[in-house]
Amino acid sequence: MNIYRTEQDSLGPMQVPDDALYGAQTARALANFPISGRPLSRPMLRALGLVKQYAARANRELGLLPVAIAGAIIAAAQEVVAGELDSHFPVDVFQTGSGTSSNMNMNEVIANRAAQLLGEQIGGKAVHPNDQVNLGQSSNDVFPTAIHIACVEQLHNHLLPALKGMEVHLRLKAEEFADVLKIGRTHLQDATPVRLGQVFNGYARQLELTRERLLFAADGLSELALGGTAVGTGINTHPQFAELAIAGIAEETGIEFREAEDHFEAQSAKDGLVALSGALKGCAVSLFKVANDIRFLASGPRCGIGELKLPALQPGSSIMPGKVNPVLAESMMQVCAQVSGNDATVTLCGLSGNFELNVMMPVMAENLLQGIDLLGNVVDLFSERYLKELEADRDRCDDLLDRSLALVTALVPVIGYDKSAELAKRAYAEGKTIRELLLAEDILPESEVNRLLDAERMTEPTED
């Protein structure tokens, strides 16, 4: 049998499970928003906990909170940061657009836990969720502050290191494949030769550039809205509160967070989050290209391109024995599709900065943090389980290269475009290679044919 206690908020009494650290406002939110069953993510809970921890410390230093109360709030907030109280944060992501329900959920849990630490009963407001835990704050500046903190931390601690690791693996493969010559492809048709190492260096550069774009977007989130309270004016907060609290958050995270230059911009607009979402979409586009190329280059193993050999991670078919599929490439591509779709959601949310407040922040946070997490996870797996074990099929590369009609491009400076095109058409019609046709008809001396059709020579600019 469930046991309840009665807690009071400004709308009246509410029944709350007796073992829950949350209070009346959270209970109302649970009744109002039984939508997805998805509460705020761990990074958001950690970020909100950090805000409450350093808000209490700042208010204590400013003489606005009794030392004992502040100490208990700080200790309770530290438990939130550590993930020890996660079960007490059940409010659905799809809630009020300012995140007020989650901010009050946080205030109530910390207030009740602080009361416990002081030896008081929960539910009696020995520590007050609004007057003390939320002192100097509003959901309207706390929630966007937490989104910035959570996104920047996850970028620096998860996605950016994962992308750097993948870049390193691609560079190593580029070195390993530096002497592997293969046919290039444009428009899905044969083109002039390339080195497989050049291709992989191109992939690595994509990853390097996407990291730079994400770092730029992360820097745009270093301004925090804390201190603006309800609409950006800072009503009911001490002039030094934001500076002190944000300094503590910056020290704790090791990230150079700072107070927003303009609190009206920080609370009414979410352009920084939209920019981050665009950078995540760009990252997804880069990763999709790499994964898609690798799965096509490994297609076969006998009737496709087959220039790469992928590690066999699992059986590929329930009906075709021996079939092995490019499963991690497909996994990465699906993640990229999800992140691209998330960007559309974040963009629509960014449009809802009505007057002094954006009212779609929780779903922005959900989509951004999901994207960062998914990309970081799949990049790590792709690097460790695919790229490390990736091999080149040198014989297959040589065979396809020798049979390509695109080698005729190297003859253009010597015999001209029109004659070269005629040779390519004849070689195709007669089922011969360019080399075979040149030698059979004694069009050029054999030594000149060997020089011109040297695939290695074709992979770099030439003067002659």
| 239: preceding bond cis by omega (within 30 degrees) | no
pLDDT value at 14 more than 80: yes
Mean pLDDT across the chain, nearest whole number? 97
Enzyme catalytic residues:
187, 317
Placement of tokens 């998805």 in the chain: 38
pLDDT of residue 32: 97
What does the DSSP assignment read for 100-149? HHHHHHHHHHHHHHHHHHTTPPTTS-SS-IIIIITTT--HHHHHHHHHHH
Q: What is the mean pLDDT of residues 113-136?
A: 97
Percent of the chain with pLDDT over 90: 98
Confidence bin at 2 (pLDDT 50/70/90): confident
Q: What is the mean pLDDT of residues 260-264?
A: 98
Confidence bin at 462 (pLDDT 50/70/90): confident
Confidence bin at 464 (pLDDT 50/70/90): low
pLDDT of residue 1: 60
What does the DSSP assignment read for 205-272? HHHHHHHHHHHHHHHTT-EE-TT-TTTSS-TTS-TTHHHHHHHHHHHHHTS--EE-S-HHHHHH--HH
pLDDT of residue 441: 87
- Domain 404-458 fold is Ribonucleotide Reductase Protein R1; domain 1 (1.10.40)
Cross-strand bridge partners of residue 383: none
Rounded Cα distance, 149 and 94, in Å:
20
140, 144, 145, 151 alpha-carbon torsion, rounded to 10°: 170
Q: Is the dihedral of CA 178, 179, 182, 186 positive or negative?
A: positive
- Domain 19-135 fold is Fumarase C; Chain B, domain 1 (1.10.275)
**CATH of the structural domain 141-395, one choice from 3.40.50.2300, 3.40.50.300, 1.10.287.70, 1.20.200.10:** 1.20.200.10
Q: How many CA atoms lie less than 13 Å away from 155 in the CB half-sphere?
A: 27
pTM: 0.96
Separation of CA 201 from chain center: 22
pLDDT value at 354 more than 90: yes
Confidence bin at 259 (pLDDT 50/70/90): very high
What's the pLDDT tens digit per position in 363-419? Answer: 999 999 999 999 999 999 999 999 999 999 999 999 999 999 999 999 999 999 999
Rounded Cα distance, 379 and 420, in Å:
44
Strands 189-195 and 181-186: antiparallel
Best CA proximity match to 246, nearest among 233, 257, 235: 257
What's the pLDDT tens digit per position in 98-112? Answer: 999 999 999 999 999
pLDDT value at 46 more than 70: yes
What does the DSSP assignment read for 176-190? HTTT-EEEEEETTEE
| Per-domain boundaries in the chain | 19-135, 141-395, 404-458
Rounded Cα distance, 167 and 51, in Å:
34
